[in-house]
Chains A and B, each alone.
Chain A
Amino acid sequence: MTSYLIKGARIPSTGSDHRPGEEHADVLVQEGRVALDGDWDESDHEVVDASGLILLPGLVDLHTHLREPGREDAETVLTGTQAAAMGGFTAVHAMANTDPVADTAGVVEQVWRLGREAGYCDVYPVGAVTVGLAGRQLAELGAMADSAARVRVFSDDGHCVDDAVLMRRALEYVKAFDGVVAQHAQEPRLTENAQMNEGELSGRLGLGGWPAVAEEAVIARDCLLAAHVGSRLHVCHVSTAGSVELIRQAKASGWNVTAEVTPHHLLLTDDLAASYDPIYKVNPPLRTAADTEALRAGLADGTIDVVATDHAPHPHEDKDCEWAAAAFGMLGLETALSVVQETMVDPGLLSWSEVAERMSYAPARIGRVADHGRPIEDGAPANIVLYDPSGRRVVEASESVSLSRNTPYAGMELPGRVVATFLHGRPTVLDGKLC
């Protein structure tokens, strides 16, 4: 196995400051592990000049749609994990809304195995909470937890577990294997025919409204349920200021609640819907500027624990149509770090070490992922990403390695780029190109 000597990268200090005072370091990637402080001979290793680059722990996505099995026209485990690697991710949680649904040990093991064979990311399948995502009967959560895929995150994402009793049972049941229920918070009756954020604009555009209260009511209920039964709750793609406040209160009460925000909810707002271009159609919908501001503040102060992409590939025809007929969702893996730099780092809301926390350590903790989300120190697994925060680039949809092209950032200028990604010591991306 080739070893790599990464020279002169800036390693953001961890919370405990493992190397106080020293910002720049040489790091050796060898035999799947990283080593620091060595006296290495450059001729023995492949040298990667990392001056001006930031070395981060490999990013961990808690919320990815890989579409396989079932919608291989939109994405496969291979192409989705390639996109993830290009975005600096070394681990992704593959959502359960495939066809067949990932509600049995057989399906989650298949997805897990496809990830291993592809070799671009460690794929951690998310198990469905209910059979067929139908919201009526618990899926065999234990079987999925005990499978080779070792599922710890369970979600009906795309659908809300809106039945209060079922949600309570799920929260209780997963305690047996230290699992977490990741809720897609959407009160179904309040969002019938919903197309975009409910507000002045939805009324003007004549598009069905998706009111903030439909998200917040479910989050409030679930926080109370999680507190009542003493379970872990994770809230997917928080999108409103009110949700941030509810989660802030839940955390202040000491309840075991975590939350994620997507890059697109940090950057984009609902006024984009005025174009009627379904590239901006997503669930939960893009919200107001006041909401994005609250989300950024919540991510900065730790109320929101993680950035998760909700990478949702769709074939061209599902977006090249009228708004109501289009699918919900947008790509996110390849642009996530740039969007976080744009919205959080450059404005001074997050340091790079906090980015490591929100995009690597915290999601790995929540997903109970062992080999990822570890500080870059001697002997740690070499799951790392080199990022160049200088310069800006215009996003080109055609340059995506995803099978799909539904990026809302096409034509938009964003900062930074991923230079290299290493998975267990092997480069998946070098010089900004897929290996």
Chain B
Amino acid sequence: MYNIFYIFGQIFHKSHEQIMTIIIFLIIIGIVVAGAFLAGFIWSVKSGQYDDMYSPSVRVLFDEKISEKKKTETGEAKDKDKDKDKEKTNKTTNKIIHKTNN
């Protein structure tokens, strides 16, 4: 066996098996990390985030709140651009919503 691990091992006086034991260590770290994600998933289900899986998809596409809108309006030119963007977003929103409903 003249593969790279053998050569490597020869340098550091380690056997094939001794080198591969690092895998066990890595696996355990992997379990811990995956376990953390599992815990996060369980927490999110318990806190009710999966109770409604449809409305958030619509909510994301809404514009800013009205009171904030009034604060940020400055000048007509900006408004015109904003309106154009809004039209575009709303058209896309409509298409998506029609698709989801049908």
A, B from the same assembly: no
